[in-house]
Each structure stands twice: as C-alpha cells, then as structure tokens.
Structure 1
C-alpha cells in the first residue's frame, strides 16, 4: 500500500527561476529539498570545492594534528584500526596512504567481522601493544569503545578516535549526557559541542579532514583532498549518507576524480564489471562497485578490498578485482536464499501483525543480516531486524523507516543486549539467544508506530502534465544531481492517462513499454521496470492509469525522443 503526497512547500518560484535562469519546475524541486535563500540555492546549483568547510572547525582537530605531527617526527609506530565495510575500508586507505606519504611508520588492522566483531576490541589493543605500536588511530569506529580505549590508555598508549557514528549517551536528571571514550583526541562531528557546520559526514570524510589538516601543517603545497576525494565520495555513497550540503558537493567532485582515476584497483574493478570510468554514477557505486568492495568484508576479509586499492601492478589488481566480483556473486545467491527464508518466517507466523520485525535465521551468514533486513524493510515498510547465530551468542543488523529511530529504541531495551551501536536508520547488535523473544516483544510494545507510519509515502515534487516535458527541462534537471538519499531524484505525477500498445520484454521479462496519451491526445512513451507480466495482468481490461514518473531522453540509433520512466502507478 502506498500514499501519494504532493510536496506543497511555498516560495516565489517565478522569481527564483528568473534569478537563477532555471525553469519554475526546477525552482520548485529545489525548494522541496529545503534549499532556501540565494546563497544556499547558488551553492546547491553551482557548489564546488571552495564551499568545503575547514577541517579546523572539527572539535579536537588541533589536538589530533599536534599528536600526529609529533609521532611522525619522533618515528613512533602508528596503528590504524578500521572497519570491514566500504566506509571503513576507504577510511583506512585514506589514513594509511596519507600518513605514509608523510613518512610515518603506519600500518593497519581491519577487524574480521566474525572473529573480532565491529570496531576496536581489547584483543586488537593487546595485539598493537605486542607489536610495539604506541599510537592507535581509529576510523569509522571508536566512539562507543570507552572500555577498550581505557585499556589502551592503561597500557600507556596514545589514542585518536576518528568516527561519525552516534555518540553514546545516558539519560540523567539534567537531560542527556554524552559518554565519550577517554582518547587523547576525539574527532566526530556528531559530538554536541563540535562546531562543524554539517554533522552528516561519513567516516572516510572525517578521516580525510584529519589528513587535510595534517598536510596543511606539514606539506601545505600538496593537495591531499584532490587525491582522496574519489575514495571519500565512494564511501559517502556506499555508507548511504544524506547527499545534502557538503556531502553532495563532495560526491559530485569525487565522481569527477573517479572518472579519471589512476588507481589501478578501481580501474580494474570498473573494467571487470563492464563499466566505463567516465560514466560512473552514484547508482554504479551503490549497486555495482560498492557491493563488490563490501563482499570481501562480508564473506572473507576486508583486507582484500584494501589490497585491491593498494595494488601496484595491473596484473595484481585484475586478479583481486575478479576475486571480489566472484565473491559478490556468491553473496547475491546467499542473500536471495536468506530473503526467501525471512519472508516465509514473517508471512507464516503472527509476526505479520508486528510493527517491528525481528527475524531469527540461525544458519544465515551473519554478514548478510543487514542486507536481508533492508529487503524486509522495503517489502513491508516496517523497521526490520535480522538475527543470526554467531560464535558468541546471537548477532544481528537492523534497517529502519523514517518514523523510527533505531538507535534510540535499542537504547531503551539495552538490558537485553550485550553490545549495540548505529544510527537512527541502521544498527548492529549482539544478544544472548534466550533473550531473542523478549527483545522482539519489548521492541513491539514500545515501538510507538501507528498504522499511518507503516504506509509507504511517495512524495511527488510537481503534478506535471506530460505535455510540459521538454528536452531542455530534462537536461536542466541534471543540475540537481548527484541523486541519492537526502537528494532523491525528483518525481512528477499525472492521472487520467490512456494506456495502449503495452508490451513486455527483457531476459527476465522485467521491462514494460507502453504508449500513454493525455485527455487532449498528447502522446508519450512510458517505460516501467519491474515484474512485467504482473503489470500486464493488472492492466488487462483497464484503459486509464495514474503515474508517478521521471522524464527521460531515450537515445536510439542516434535519434532522441522523450519518454517517462514510471516509478509508481495506479490503474483507474
């Protein structure tokens, strides 16, 4: 079930359109993205690197840079502790290459998802101590590791935390109190008293900012950001950060760098997936390249992905890229089996009535829990947790909907959990097997979700008749790219369209082409991607359709024609 809603945000669209030389439709979409005021609109349309915020605005940046300068000068041994997902791998790469570029004695450890679990743990601290590494710098983790970091401090080690996850807190009489780890410097824009203007950065960008500030101090003539932007951009998309403010500009600039990347590993990964470097878009990172980079941390070790990025010969890069692609194919098969079992569990039990889904798949590979939870969330539009049986008890991942802050809800039932962390929209957790049912019950009792929250909302930017679509308008809409979470592709709608010449094709019968005609006889080609036979069956005997769409230019044998890509539909 879906609820279609038209965004009704007000502004003087005519004036905005004239001032910026854009169509009123484009002006309306920009307002719907809450971009308000001349300066903000200018930055949204034409933002570039000059609009990046200074790294020095991040809390503890001065401390972190001073420590790293001293350690490099004194030839102290630095250990980077990263994470096994795409953001963790990119963060680790950025720190390792940047520190070594300054002559630092730096190495890295990426935790093993199964053996070590997420982030820094005591075993990794002991290992660093035994390896005579006196300094630890974390990336994409560390903010929730107060106990583990205390151990490092007790051993006399120096610790810098760079992270972007939510800061743990406890409720007191005076409101929320942050629980910060006892590190020598904590760089995380989510800290309450951090003066950075934008808190939505991913871990790799936080790491890049630290290195940018360090380079400004040590070798100001080197443009480190230019070198690291493609990796920071990949992490921002791969970790599904909001493409707003600095993130959107950063991804736009990062993609430009990626189109001409000299990194052999990325070149080969692009090649084995049959892509052209200059055409790489956020879609390709999110659904093709990113899953390959993530697959090594899921089914093997994330060090493989890092090794690919560090490859020094094309031969080595080609072998590693091929391995990652094959691993990702295995991951896809295993995911499909897991999704099938999860759906069966939900639909054959009383769980269908739950507002929060908690599915226990003991045999499922724990690295796939998050992906399966995401598929359940898409199918049922409910917050979804998938739990698996791990080495020590039960581990799991959750994916949420806008109306439900997952991290806060986990805080409310932390007595059933042995470990947890995350964001409003996603979380990871561990618990004892005997607590699974109690955990499910508690989450559902306190979900606070209404039936309205569980109906998927389709937000329409402009109810635009198909006869208004022009090639110059479609091209102008590309000014709003890159699209992604927080800057979604604009959606338009029209009802009372006549449908004819419907045909289904494609290897998996997942493409539907049709002719749409409005009440004045104006024709337009329509394309729908999905279950083609189901669409055709639904359309049988119906003449009219209401559509939510995105306008597009189809190029065939050198000829251009307008068409609409149908995202949602309702037959009259």
Structure 2
C-alpha cells in the first residue's frame, strides 16, 4: 500500500534544549516533536519520579468515597468490587481487592460475563449480590454510565462508590449535550467538569491506584506500601492505550522498572510461560504478550481467571493458571487470523472494496474478538471498519477508525438505526437490528467526507539521520523514552540512498526481509522487515522487470530510502546494532 512520508519540522533551538536538559540533540528533537519543549517538563518526563504524582484528594468525591469504604471495613460490611473483563478492568479489580484484603475488609470481587451480561453493571446481578449479602458496591473501570443500575442498587439500600475513567454519558437537547452522572454515594472520575484533578487521562487501574493511595494516606500507612501496586497499574495503563504522558507515564515507567524483580507470583509465572521472565520488560511485552493473555480470559472464558492469577500465592497453581491464559490467547489468535483472512477475501471480491467506511456482518465471528478483527481489517485497507456478528438479542460488534475520521460522531448521526452504542473517535461498540445493517453501511458512506488523500497511510518521521549515527549510545538514549504507546509513539528515523549490498529472505514462512546496508563503505548494518517480502519483490519487478530476481540474488549496491527504528539485536550473547524497518522504497 502506498504511504505518505512526513518529516516533522520544528523551530526550536535544539542546541539550547539539549544543553540545558542534558540530553542529546536527537532526543531533544524527539521530545519537541511530541510537544515537550519546556526544560522542567523535559526533566520530569525523563525522571518519571513518583514524587511528581498529584494528591489523590484533588479528585472530586475521593474524600467521601474513601470514607465509605473505611466505614464499611470497620463495621464488617460486605464490599463487592464490580470490575470489567478487559486488562484494565482486571488490573483495577486486583488493585482494589488486594488493598482491601490487606486492610482486613470483608471483600469479594465480581466481573461480568462478556456475552451473558455485557459491559458494566447489570440490574439482575445487583439483585443477586444483594441477596448474597453485599452492602457496598465499589466499581472500577465502569459505572459512570450506570444511571439505572446505580439507582436500583440504592433502592435496595446499598452504598455505591463509582471509580471510572470513561467519558460521561450525555443526551442531546436542542442540539446541546447535557451530561449526567449516576446518583452514587461517590463518583470518582477526573473527567467530571467539577473535578479539579489536574490529570484527566488516567485509566481505570490508575484511578484504582489513586483510590488505594488515598485510603493509605487516611489510615496512616507508609507511602511505599501503595507503590507495590504500581506494576499492576502499569499493565492496565499500557493495555488500555491511554496517552503515556503525565501520571500515566510515571505509572507505566515505574511499572516496567519493577517487573524484572516482581514479587507477584502470578505475574512471574505468566512471564515465565511467555519466555520473558529474565528479559528487560518493555511496553511491547506488556502490550503484545502479557496484556493479550489477560484479555483472552475475558474473551473466551471468565476474566476472573486473570484476577485469580494475579492474586495467587501458590507457585504451582500460578503456573497452571498462566498456562491456561497462554492457551486461551493462542486460541484467540487462531480465531482472529481465520476471521481476518476470510473478511479480507470477502471485501476484495465484493462491492465493499469501493466503500470508504467498511461495515461487514459475519455471523460466526466470536463476539469477543470483533474489535481485534476490525482493527486488523482496518490496517489492511486503511479505512474505518465496523465488524458485526450475531449477538444474543441482535447483531453487535465493534469499529476501529483512522485519525481522519471521528467514528463516534459519525455513529451519532445514525443513532436512529442503532440499538446501543458508545465509544470515542477511534473506536466504538454497537448493537443493531439485522435489517438496519445495510442502511447503516449506506448512510455512513453517503455522509463520508474522506478524500482519497485521507486514506493514504501517513508515517511521521522524527528525524533524518545518517546510518553512521546509529550506535549503542543512541539506542540506549531512545530506550530511556520508554514506555512507548499512544501520546508517546516509538520514534522513527529515515535516511535516503542507503546502499544495499545483500538481501536475504528468512523465516519458516519466508516472510522476513533482511537487508544488509553499507555504512560509509566501511561497515555494515542489518535491517529487518516483517511480512513485506512480496511487496519488496513487486517494487523490484516494476523497476527491473524480469531481472528483478537477479537483483535479489546480487543487489549490486541498489539504493533505497528507509524509515526505521534503531534497536539492539542480541543473539548467543553477542550484541549488535540493527534497524527495524517501518517502510521502504527505491531511491530516485
């Protein structure tokens, strides 16, 4: 697929920033590209000190919420933590559960079944919890939209404390949005208009961490105790794809530092099963290995398995649970791959390939993976994509978008066709009657203002550097910017006219491209690219015709432009610099 390369331009004095912040010009350029220009802000970004976190009592209702829980502990009332089935919900549930257990609370947790109950609080479940003796409900990663459910719990005489990070629900009144919140005893969510907490982007686990921090402060527990929960909060933060800036960065960075010496038996077992126990843990390991295993339980079994793993104190039991999580994730991966391949084939051989917004109804997609499938289909075609499957009562599914298209706002324009829906600009979930699916597809495409240029993938380049600048020192400096993710993307560099002296095709499936690049004709550096072998062959075929195979066998110094991330390749105890290719093209 054709891509547009964009070199970021800055007008700042990088020499001055580099000197005053004591960082290299390359690192200064990366930070400035991300809007981090002030020297003190740069120092905070680099240090990630826990002392730079805000007072939890700045959050609206934090004082009232913690009082309710402390009173419940002292009076022996049964507290139920009402969580969610994704990685953020699991980690926030565990944080609250572990903290309350250590405070000798009468506490249990409940995570809803994804298919039977769906996201958030359920009136029938609240009734069951009441009958089982629950007197206080403490939500995490949900509750802000549970208007009716909270009212029902209150009518049963229960106390309700909501901790959540999602957007506030609203209804439109004469083209004006009226925001509303549930009438809980305390609602802790920094996105409330009256909340004075300076940082609004915490995930559910981050808010659960702040809640425990506030509890500890009230009870006079030493500050270091709450920091033991940072590594779990960091998993939720990275997996929930919130912006990794401010407090999120502090939580995530400290979590990565802690995980190599984690005391959590369950987490250690999972890292062992995944083969990363003795490695330096990076955001990649959490986002693409640990997180998907935690998420898989909520997709294919029950997310309570993941909470049980994190709370486990027996090494043998933890190892067994960790293997279960890994197996569930492999099953989920196989299901995802099969559905993605089938949907791509269907789109490419139908009229849907002309659409700028894809709406695909495939009855047998497992409801829990619709969002993952939508994301991968979007990556293939670079258009907003909604994948629908046969739900319990009506078709339901998930959508994933591109930066140029606000999916949530576009769905609002079609709300008369939908059952329930919610989300944000880049992702949404929805239910819809089957007879309305084609109507939704037509209306979204008729209303769509995306241009052909909008649909060209854009790659933002932080800096052009000569390959001679790629060394261990630069790579180590880049690693100090970890964790990478939303709001702090992994930096990309680029160079033109790179001389290629050898080409290798590797891997069991022959889908890994390895280019041997000449650096000033006096040393070489390897450049690796995954799943782009056929594309590489195609661009050679276009330029060289039938001779392209000879070029692969003997590149003879052909020149290419590369976008890449520098990295360290370690094999058999040997370390060397390497490039991870993001994109490539033949030089003009």
Q: Which TM-score bucket, shorter chain as reference?
A: over 0.9
- Please give the alpha-carbon distance, in whole angstroms, between the structure 1 residues aligned to 2:301 and 2:534: 38
Unaligned stretches of 5+ residues in structure 2 = 541-547
**Does residue 569 of structure 1 match 2:561?**
no
Q: Is the 8 A contact 1:526 1:566 kept in 2?
A: no
Scaled by the length of structure 2, the TM-score of the pair is: 0.93
Q: Is the 8 A contact 2:517 2:527 kept in 1?
A: no
SS at match of 1:265: helix
Q: CA deviation at 1:229?
A: 0.6
SS at match of 2:583: strand
The match for 2:543 is none
Q: 1:136 to 1:286 in 2, by over 3 A?
A: same
Q: Is the 8 A contact 1:296 1:324 kept in 2?
A: yes
How many residues are matched?
571
The match for 2:306 is 305
Q: Is the 8 A contact 1:524 1:564 kept in 2?
A: no
Q: Is the 8 A contact 1:345 1:359 kept in 2?
A: no
Q: CA deviation at 1:342?
A: 1.5
**Does residue 241 of structure 1 match 2:242?**
yes
Q: Tell me the C-alpha RMSD between the 2 structures.
A: 1.9
Q: CA deviation at 1:472?
A: 2.1
Point out the more displaced range, 47-56 or 436-445.
436-445
User: What does 1:52-71 align with in structure 2 at a 5 Å threshold?
Assistant: 52-71=53-72
- Please give the alpha-carbon distance, in whole angstroms, between the structure 2 residues aligned to 1:182 and 1:131: 23
Q: Is the 8 A contact 2:461 2:563 kept in 1?
A: yes
User: What does 1:414-453 align with in structure 2 at a 5 Å threshold?
Assistant: 414-453=415-454
The match for 2:410 is 409
Q: Is the 8 A contact 1:87 1:204 kept in 2?
A: yes
The match for 1:31 is 32
Q: CA deviation at 1:202?
A: 0.9
Once the two structures are superposed, what CA deviation does each residue of 1:200-230 show, in whole Å capped at 9, x if it has no partner? 1111111111111011102432534312111
The match for 2:272 is 271
The match for 1:525 is 525
Q: Is the 8 A contact 1:504 1:536 kept in 2?
A: no
Q: CA deviation at 1:560?
A: 4.5
The match for 1:366 is 367
Q: CA deviation at 1:535?
A: 5.0
- Please give the alpha-carbon distance, in whole angstroms, between the structure 2 residues aligned to 1:145 and 1:445: 34
- Please give the alpha-carbon distance, in whole angstroms, between the structure 1 residues aligned to 2:194 and 2:451: 34
- Please give the alpha-carbon distance, in whole angstroms, between the structure 2 residues aligned to 1:346 and 1:166: 33
Q: CA deviation at 1:497?
A: 2.0
**Does residue 88 of structure 1 match 2:80?**
no
- Please give the alpha-carbon distance, in whole angstroms, between the structure 2 residues aligned to 1:129 and 1:447: 48
The match for 1:187 is 188
User: What does 1:30-429 align with in structure 2 at a 5 Å threshold?
Assistant: 30-172=31-173, 175-221=176-222, 223-429=224-430
Question: For 1:547, which of 562, 568, 587 is the aligned residue?
Answer: 562
Q: CA deviation at 1:154?
A: 2.1
Q: CA deviation at 1:452?
A: 2.5
Q: CA deviation at 1:404?
A: 2.4
Point out the more displaced range, 255-264 or 168-177.
168-177
Q: CA deviation at 1:473?
A: 2.2
Unaligned stretches of 5+ residues in structure 1 = none
SS at match of 1:453: coil
User: What does 1:450-469 align with in structure 2 at a 5 Å threshold?
Assistant: 450-469=451-470
Q: 1:121 to 1:410 in 2, by over 3 A?
A: farther
- Please give the alpha-carbon distance, in whole angstroms, between the structure 1 residues aligned to 2:376 and 2:445: 20
SS at match of 2:464: coil
Q: Is the 8 A contact 1:149 1:181 kept in 2?
A: yes
Q: Is the 8 A contact 1:551 1:563 kept in 2?
A: yes
SS at match of 1:390: coil
Q: Is the 8 A contact 2:216 2:226 kept in 1?
A: no
- Please give the alpha-carbon distance, in whole angstroms, between the structure 1 residues aligned to 2:470 and 2:235: 33
- Please give the alpha-carbon distance, in whole angstroms, between the structure 2 residues aligned to 1:422 and 1:429: 9
The match for 2:9 is 8
Q: CA deviation at 1:536?
A: 5.1
Once the two structures are superposed, what CA deviation does each residue of 1:29-59 show, in whole Å capped at 9, x if it has no partner? 1100111211111111112101112211212
